[in-house]
Amino acid sequence: MSDKTSPSEDKKTAASYKPTPMMEQFLEIKGANPDSLLFYRMGDFYELFFDDAVQASKALGITLTKRGKHLGEDIPMCGVPVHAADGYLDRLIALGYKVSVCEQTEDPAEAKKRGAKSVVRRDVVRLVTPGTLTEESLLDSGSSNYLASVSRVKNGDEGHLYGLSWLELSTGDFGVLQLDHLRLGAELARLDPREIIVSDHMLMDEDFQPLKDMLRTSISPVPRAFFDGSTAADRLMGYFGLSTLDGYGHFERVELMAASAVLAYVEKTQLGARPPLNPPQRELSSRTMSIDAATRANLELVRTLSGDKKGSLLSVIDKTVTGGGSRLLAARLAAPLAQLDGIIARQNSIAWFLQQTGLREDLREGLKAAPDMPRALSRLSLDRGGPRDLGAIRSGFSAIFALLSHIGSAAQSEPLPQEIGDAATALQAMPEMLGQSLSEALNDELPLQKRDGGFVRTGYDAGLDELRSLRDESRRVIASLQADYANETGIKALKVKHNNVLGYFLEVTANNADKMMSAPLNERFIHRQTLANAVRFTTTELADLEARIASAGAKVIAIELSIFDRLRDQVLAAVDLIQKAARALATLDVSTALACLADEQNYCRPLMDDSLAFEVSAGRHPVVELALSRDGGDPFVANDCDLSPQAGHDNGRIWLMTGPNMAGKSTYLRQNALIAILAQMGSFVPADQAHIGLVDRLFSRVGAADDLARGRSTFMVEMVETAAILNQAGERSLVILDEIGRGTSTFDGLSIAWATIESLHEVNRSRALFATHYHELTVLHEKLPRLNNATVKVKEWQGDVVFLHEIVPGAADRSYGIQVAKLAGLPDVVINRARDVLESLEEGDRQSPALTIDDLPLFSATAQKEVNKETDFLRDALNGINPDDMSPREAQQALYRLKGLV
């Protein structure tokens, strides 16, 4: 008879299979959380099973093992220690995974009362996602960790309107905005959220795919019910305990949908817990300068093109000393203001601290002691906080009182700027009694976990002190007992030890065990356990003492936990005041840091108004300048820029920049864009003087990059970004363009660059810097009144080129490409051959493109019609020719006729 079973027998076996109680519990919990990895708590480990284990082992590089069988097959398993779980969570979240944390929800002793084989109750206590992190070890103290949601409604024949809502779970920041599809990508790039939630049907929409490809972040689809507009307002009012939202402004329906969805997602991931969020603040798209994703990347505002923070603008200007200050500075850099009042208020604060050098240094020193109170508050509200979070709030009080003392002294001599005065008012509102309670209750040194105890100061609670004394005295009694037992038995190596299984016990070596188990000692010492090299005993006296110690220890922990809960409740009752104080600390940090930056780097205060001016004297690139000074190289060459309207013209100028590669054109273009951003974020700028009229939108197309994942060549990416600029820029915009058209053939590229300049001049009417190697375009300044030529000075010396990095009026007559190639190390034979070829080309028709451009009509409706007529005429003539029926002579004559038409 064969040993193999038939298919019908396999089905019977599977049908009759019953999983173990523990695996049955796991499968039930996993079934309720199918979209995440399940961290299933078993003792000191979080275990993962089945496909979760396979995925986690690959992602984390940990060993995949097996545990028992399920439906006849081995169960894959891996695990991570509970004490090191944060590190593994960080890696999984960074890879885009979500994790459900399943904890034991009852004491194992209670489970045993239901039967020997009863399983300890477990349940998911938290869903960990990229946008809902609160643990200090998983967060970057200097960066915000935004969770965002995107909603959409139809807008008649004009397409769709979008609602964007975002919150920072670890600080409580909560914002909402209505916008169109053109601005949606720019705002998401500004926020740089770690996770975005959208309705599942919207995620599948083809219109959403381009945005999805651009974001490259974690996108979480949720049911459409999350975005239900009919219940959105009620959900918001219910969360914040309000009867109306009118006190926070008027919200559009699509904004309410987005805000409601993000709240619903928080409640889902936090399993009903409600972190302390600020009521939603409605932002207006006109309040900030719009900067799209491509421009942010090109200008390297918060990270370089390679993804590093070092080398970015933020890394250079960030002199803050607190996590909250660093996050606020990054937020200001990401969203420069487009309103004068706010800009000037920030400038006033910096100017005041520039004059108050002593106060500035005192405040910066005091701010170093200020902890990250908002994130501590968030953990406490979600019951994830520990004694050190309470300690952070206590330290915050101490830092605030010290800062107020310094500010109060300064305010006696002169009035405070509005921003500093508002910050001082928020700090003064902190409840002093709460700070005193925390100082009186908490030890100077605090444990990480509240379950460890030992965080309540001696003398704070008399009952607690009495129990601690009993516990500690009992330990000394045990030490005394060990000495007595050793003398009584004559075994000097006898030890009193403890573990979680046996409790307290006596341990002797195997050689001494016979003596302990022989009369008369065996009547007093009770055998408990025999090991390979040791034997363990107990006594009635030791058992009674153990009971008293365990009772005292448990009571000590219980009292400390109750004190912790009481202090936490007091802190959470003052959450609004503490959050306002934390924002005030961040404001002081940013203002003093920017004043320090301006002082050290010789930045000036720009004149800001609502004109179309853009005039910078001796401007510098902040990142390049600092890099040169650190490397001990040549000093940075400062340059002027004037894009302000000329007399008789209503719009700003366009500068057409020519000059060789490596001469500094790209640096010059970027530095003026960065100066505009710094000015409108309220900072001083790297220049001797600056006068800047508000810029509503900034566009930058600098450098070459491809997008092979989306099937886009370098030239295609260039054209897409240029199209976005020409379709959106207006007269208040600042446009930075570099080498448009260089990715295709000479005449194609020249034509595109030419048409782009004319569009900027005639249609967009923007202030612009346009760098090019097409020297033929410089003749356009004769026909475009707002176009000015500028070039980079160079000097030739013995066949080599020396870059002077100085921008001057005029046009370059050549690109010096061969000289640059020589500097790059091309072989001499190649350089010499290139010179020969260049001379040959220059003797031919090198100047014909310029003459052609000079003769062509300007880009206008009338000229375009003429071009279309000529094109149609030529097309008709070509359609009348049949090459297959022509002799060579007839073909030649036809070509002459066509030449005459042209």
Task: Please enumerate, by residue number, every residue annotated as part of a binding site for ATP.
Answer: 659-666
Nearest residue to 290 (alpha-carbon basis) of 687, 730, 739:
730
Summarize the annotated binding site as residue ranges: 659-666
Which residues partner with 149 through β-bridges? Answer: 165, 197
Nearest residue to 600 (alpha-carbon basis) of 319, 302, 311:
319
Go through 165-203 and write b for each residue having 16 or more CB atoms within 10 A of its CB, e for each that does not.
bbbbbbbbbbbbbbbebebbbbbbbbbbbbbbbbbeebb
Q: Quick one: DSSP state of residue 500?
A: T
Distances 193 to 189, 219, 256, 450 between C-alpha atoms, Å? 8, 10, 19, 32
How big is the CA angle at 735 (ends 729 and 741), to the nearest 5 degrees?
A: 100
Nearest residue to 593 (alpha-carbon basis) of 311, 317, 312:
317
Q: Residues 590, 325: contact at Cβ < 8 Å? A: yes
Structure tokens at 699: 């566009």
Nearest residue to 380 (alpha-carbon basis) of 392, 371, 389:
389
E strands in 542-653: 607-609, 614-619, 639-642
3-state helix, strand, coil in the chain (%, to 5): 50, 20, 30
How big is the CA angle at 219 (ends 214 and 221), to the nearest 5 degrees?
A: 130
Establish whether the linkage from the previous residue to 520 is cis, with ω within 30° of 0. Answer: yes
The 3-state secondary structure of 857-868, one letter per residue: CCCCHHHHHHHH
Decide: residue 836, CB within 10 A, 0-12 exposed, 13-18 middle, 19+ buried: exposed
Go through 133-155 and write b for each residue having 16 or more CB atoms within 10 A of its CB, e for each that does not.
bbbbebbeebbbbbbbbbbbeee
Residue 123 belongs to what H/E stretch? strand 122-128
